[in-house]
Structure 1
Amino acid sequence: MEGELAYLAGRTSRGLHSRRAFLGRAGALGLSMVMAQGLLVSAAQAAGPQKGGVLRVGLHGGDYADTLNPLRAISAVERFNLRCVGDTLMASDSEGRPVPAAAEEIEASPDHRTWALRLREGLQFHNGQAVTGADVAATLMRHADPANRSGASGLLSGMESVTSDGDHVVISFADPNPWFAEALTDYRLVLQPAPLGNGVVHEVFSGPYIPRINEPGVRHVFERNPRDWDNSRGHVDQIEVLVINNHDARLAALSSGQIHLANRADPRKSAQIAAIPEVQFVRGASGGRLAFSMQTGAAPYDRSDLRLALKYALDRDAILRDVLSGYGRIGNDLPFAPGDHAFLAGISQRSYDPEKASWHYKRSGHEGMPLVLRVSDITWPGALEAAEAFRTSATAAGLPVEIRPEPAEGYFTEVWNKKPFTASYHDGTSSAGRLLSTYHLSASAWNETRFGGEALDKLVMEARASADPTLQQNCFAEVAKMLHEQGGSLIPVHCDSFELASSEVQGFTAHPDGEMMGGAAGIRVWLNA
């Protein structure tokens, strides 16, 4: 049986045998759908990538404000697009570890205050201009500048200077920063030219694909860069990204062959999807989190008792059961996925408790005006259902939570991180340091709750400066306690990622950096000939 299935899996991966027929034969021999799909993935990896074809991708999470400006990128579509067109100095391997990319060599001083790197020889931007150390310096300084409000600013906190000499770059920090190599994998830190002419060039890149059509909220087209330095990526000739924010429309497009990849499948329809032979159903426990975030400096959310009342009024079990069909893990108002970090062991799980919610609410002195939570399904497909479940449990506890649905168009530019109580969704990462630097340092533009301050910053920077795992864990534990008791995030669940691929797609797997292989699926997968 094993020999027969291995033989058929190999032929199927090369397009010489029907996927439907293979799955039917595997089922007849007693293999589950998941095991049979695993055989196909292994066979495809063994056969190796094939070049050519047009990859069509249907993505949830885009709107008219999408941009190729890395300073402004936040949505799933923007991340995917920047991974297609851009080069980062470091990349993430299949385990989420940093490996050299545009930087061929990188080395830290013994105290990790100084990092030196050398660019790969012959790197060019899409316009033919050579990539130099000066461009690296300009890119990093651009994102570190607080005035630019880059989502990567927290990752570069403490950076004092960047100097360059030809292909060599030296970066200096005020304090030790052993996490810097990992920070350089961030999708926003794609290399761009130093300012030219009358200002900064925002949409010139050096990556495996060249942007050809850019219709925000509708369609993006990229063509393979013939001068790309890395032959292990960029397998298809062209990538077409279609913004399809409706789940049923994405599934229909995939089933009919209009697209090859789709993100954010509805977990409530997992059984229905898994029964479609032409569709690969890829599930990953990436720890992506749905959050309802309160700005702790804005009334009435500046009252700690009101924040605690809302946390106790959240029925997490109901959201996991009814919105995620159990595909995820209960959240505890912390950005770290439960079970991923040892330092969370001393923090008790917060459960739905209407009596405690009512007690804290009365103590807060709030006068009963509606607590307006602004939500859009652009953040995550089940966000509105999760918010409605929260309103129901909060109402039962006596809290006047009101849900205000917001249109997808402009949500990330006009609502999120601007209004005092909003919904958001963030992909997970196994690195506590990277997560805290991005979302919880005072200087981070993406600190959506505005919670933090000198004490929290000091703990994060102390952890970053140390090579002692025990000290790091102790610092993270203190930060976690602060966020749990005083922070502004209500995190009901950590969601599994559910993604779909047609039978033509090979090399598509779950990734620790979240959906769409950390955004890099477009440059990593290939199509059957």
Structure 2
Amino acid sequence: MRHPKIALPQDPSTRGLSRRDFIRAATAAGLTVAMASSLWSQAQAATPKKGGTLRLGADGGATTDTLSPLQALGVDHTASASFATYDTLTEIDHEGNPQPSLAESWESNADGTWAIRLRRGVEFHDGKALTADDVVWSLNQHRGDTSKNAEARQIVGNMAELRADGPDTVVIRQAEVNFDLPSHLSSFGLLIGKEGTENWDDGIGTGPYRMERWDPGVRYVGRKFENFYRDDQGHFDSVESLNVPDAAARASALLSGSLDVIGSPDVNTATRLADAAGFDLVQVSGTQHYTTDMRTDTGPLADANVRNAVKWGVRRQEIVDKVLGGFATIGNDLPLARNQKFYNDELPQREFDPDKAKWHLKQAGLDSLELTFHTSDGAFAGAVDMGVLMQQSLAGAGIDITVKREPADGYWSEVWMTDPWVASYYNGRPTADWMLTSQYSSGSKWDATYFNNALFDALLTQARAAPDETKRRELYFEAQRILWEDGGVMVVAFVNILIAASDRMGHGGVGVSRRLDDARLARRWWFDS
């Protein structure tokens, strides 16, 4: 669709028009920046170009990483390598809707039985044809103790029956009806491999790039797979992804031309690149959120009044402004973004209120409190500075905190999920049930707060099976109220997903669930010139 106030060239990228020049021209003609960005993305999406070597700078990798969906936590570097090499049955578009990937279509009946029809003609990198048996085998790997991927185990655990119906159809009967299954099948943990795969790090997938090199925590190299089944993805001749943990080093490599794209630029870099010639700062309001996680099962934080004292005692907007550079919006201790379906917008926004914080301390029988907050640059850029600001604001509420800076190396394996109060971040999920269930239902393996509430669990069970949206809304709203009042998570902010890139890069709509275009940047982007 063309906006009547501006004439767009049929193909901006072929006429020497950069994204920045386009947006300046469009805003001068009366469009908002958001509208101009959307129009540019539409024009670019229609004209992807083939060729070139993408040099991507990501972070989060470790030498212990693996491409195996049975083990990997899914940090940026590893997830990007996995999605370059392997596929899931579905993927989520930039509007949060499930779209076909290996699955061509799906349908269900009222009792929760689904027929998933696979694309025909899909090949693995060794030439073997994909069949329903490969899909059934891959999903079944998440039964039992072999799989350490909690989210995948949870999804597959609800599959009471999983079988092939011929070479191109998979039948799934759910134990509990969940109409969000097509979205769940996009989960990072549900990568599809060849039946009998023993080593996922061999990289025999169906993705757009055939793996040539995989040095965990260091480098991934992939070359275009000529028999890849999609024309709308996999535009580069080759991809090289480097793990660059230091944000300043990533920025320097981009500015020097050593990298084409970097994920998670720090605030200083993002501010600098917003108007820098030759570069683009891509930002979308996503579902990723920065949190402090308080264990609800041990120590003084096991008291909900103490947790609520902490939540009321933090100046969140100050953290957004001073630490996150304004590239975020304050959170309200719910893991759903405000623009997500079923977000509970009836709860009051928690602001800095030292009187309420002190009241909650008194309810816990305390006049003051000493706590240790464990944080690290490895949690997210600015996590240590956030701790310092929290220390200052909580002092006014009678809470004295020690900010303990932990090493980035080993933070996720030795501190997170272990210490009583930690800095963390979470990639969002496209549906309310997926986010609330995978993160905060009793027994979740990724919940650093160890939240356990039987009523919360029951509400989620009822909501996911309710065909009536009004009823689902009522149930999800009540579940979020319980989490808001009793939970151990303080959602400080929802951060804009930032990607810094050379202005030679082209792309369509950018995914909002996780960084680096839902970790699929190597599949979706291309070179304009």
TM-score after normalising by structure 2:
0.89
Partners in 2 of 1:139 and 1:445 — Cα distance?
21
SS at 1:344's partner residue? coil
Task: Give the counterpart letter for 1:225 in structure 2.
Answer: F
- 1:428 deviates by 2.9
SS at 2:128's partner residue? coil
**1:415 pairs with 2:421:** no
**1:402 pairs with 2:398:** no
- 1:381 deviates by 1.2
Matches within 5 A, 1:302-381: 302-341=302-341, 343-364=343-364, 370-381=370-381
Partners in 1 of 2:508 and 2:407 — Cα distance?
31
- 1:31 deviates by 8.6
**1:291 pairs with 2:291:** yes
Matches within 5 A, 1:99-138: 99-111=99-111, 113-138=112-137
Partners in 2 of 1:6 and 1:122 — Cα distance?
37
- 1:502 deviates by 0.8
Task: Give the counterpart letter for 1:171 in structure 2.
Answer: I
**1:51 pairs with 2:50:** yes
Unaligned runs of 5+ in 1: none
Aligned counterpart, 1:507? 507
Q: Is residue 307–residue 488 contact of structure 2 (8 Å, CA) maintained in 1?
A: yes
Aligned counterpart, 2:390? 390
Aligned counterpart, 2:521? 521
- 1:295 deviates by 2.1
- CA deviation map 1:271-301 (0-9, x unaligned): 4212212111111111321011122122232
Task: Give the 3 Å change call, closer, same or farther, for CA 303–135 of structure 1 in structure 2.
Answer: same
- CA deviation map 1:289-331 (0-9, x unaligned): 1011122122232222221221122221211221123332221
Task: Give the counterpart letter for 2:176 in structure 1.
Answer: D
Aligned counterpart, 2:183? 182
Aligned counterpart, 1:69? 68
Q: Is residue 289–residue 494 contact of structure 2 (8 Å, CA) maintained in 1?
A: yes
- 1:211 deviates by 2.2
Partners in 2 of 1:184 and 1:311 — Cα distance?
34
Q: Is residue 305–residue 361 contact of structure 1 (8 Å, CA) maintained in 2?
A: yes
- 1:183 deviates by 0.5
Task: Give the 3 Å change call, closer, same or farther, for CA 144–348 of structure 1 in structure 2.
Answer: farther
SS at 2:414's partner residue? helix
Task: Give the counterpart letter for 1:60 in structure 2.
Answer: D
Aligned counterpart, 2:16? 17
Q: Is residue 22–residue 40 contact of structure 2 (8 Å, CA) maintained in 1?
A: no
Partners in 2 of 1:477 and 1:21 — Cα distance?
41
Task: Give the counterpart letter for 1:398 in structure 2.
Answer: G
- 1:44 deviates by 3.1
Unaligned runs of 5+ in 2: none
- 1:368 deviates by 7.4
**1:241 pairs with 2:241:** yes
Aligned counterpart, 2:159? 159
- 1:202 deviates by 6.0
Partners in 2 of 1:439 and 1:183 — Cα distance?
14
Partners in 1 of 2:495 and 2:121 — Cα distance?
42
Task: Give the counterpart letter for 1:377 in structure 2.
Answer: D
Partners in 2 of 1:62 and 1:304 — Cα distance?
35
Partners in 2 of 1:36 and 1:161 — Cα distance?
48
TM-score after normalising by structure 1:
0.89
- Between 31-40 and 162-171, report the one with greater CA deviation: 31-40
Task: Give the 3 Å change call, closer, same or farther, for CA 295–129 of structure 1 in structure 2.
Answer: farther
Q: Is residue 155–residue 437 contact of structure 1 (8 Å, CA) maintained in 2?
A: no
Q: Is residue 287–residue 428 contact of structure 2 (8 Å, CA) maintained in 1?
A: yes
Q: Is residue 336–residue 432 contact of structure 2 (8 Å, CA) maintained in 1?
A: yes
- 1:127 deviates by 3.2
Aligned counterpart, 1:427? 427
SS at 2:352's partner residue? coil
Aligned counterpart, 1:254? 254
Task: Give the counterpart letter for 2:195 in structure 1.
Answer: A
- CA deviation map 1:336-375 (0-9, x unaligned): 1235455513211122222332333354357978522222
SS at 1:287's partner residue? strand
Identity of aligned residues (%): 30
Task: Give the 3 Å change call, closer, same or farther, for CA 62–4 of structure 1 in structure 2.
Answer: same
Q: Is residue 67–residue 200 contact of structure 2 (8 Å, CA) maintained in 1?
A: no
